[in-house]
Amino acid sequence: MISGNLKSIDDIMKSRGRPKVDTIPLMVRMPSELVEQLDTVRRETEDLPSRPELIRRIVEEWLSQKHQNG
């Protein structure tokens, strides 16, 4: 039986696989303090996005706001 906090093998396998076709891998180094802040925001987000997903959302939001402001 699987505990409520553990993912099943099926759930783990769903997150693996070939990346989207129209994407470019990008590696960014960040200070540990910034990563800790990201993790705090992740835990406060209802769907608990991965770090890369949260960073994508933040960048998309920033670009959207910048586009609206000028």
pLDDT, residue 64, reads: 94
Residue 51's identity, in one-letter code, is R
Give tens-digit pLDDT for 15-56. Answer: 566 667 888 989 999 999 999 999 999 999 999 999 999 999
Residue 67's identity, in one-letter code, is H
Give dist(CA 59, CA 54) in Å, integer: 9
Helices assigned H by DSSP within 1-70: 9-14, 32-44, 51-69
pLDDT value at 4 more than 90: no
pLDDT value at 3 more than 80: no
pLDDT, residue 1, reads: 46
